[in-house]
Amino acid sequence: MDPKIRNIFLLLFLLAFLATVVVYFSSNQDMKLTWYFGGAAILFYLIYRFSKK
């Protein structure tokens, strides 16, 4: 995979990770919404991690 695309997935992972923390504390500990953002963060990390040439 092109390094620029890999870096986009890394950026998406970092944003989803931060969004997970923000959503957890700003939504009065709504775990359903937190798991959605956490799942997206995990998905973006796995795509980034295993997309090497």
- Dihedral of alpha carbons 31, 32, 37, 39, sign: positive
Angle, alpha carbons 53-43-6 (nearest 5°): 35
pTM of the predicted model as reported, rounded to 2 decimal places: 0.82
What pLDDT, on a 0 to 100 scale, did the predictor assign at position 40? 95
What pLDDT, on a 0 to 100 scale, did the predictor assign at position 51? 86
Average pLDDT, the chain: 91
Q: How far apart are CA 35 and CA 6, in angstroms?
A: 24
Would you say residue 21 has pLDDT above 70? yes
What pLDDT, on a 0 to 100 scale, did the predictor assign at position 53? 63
Confidence of residue 43 (pLDDT cuts 50, 70, 90): very high
Name 36's Cβ contacts closer than 8 Å, sequence gap at least 6: none
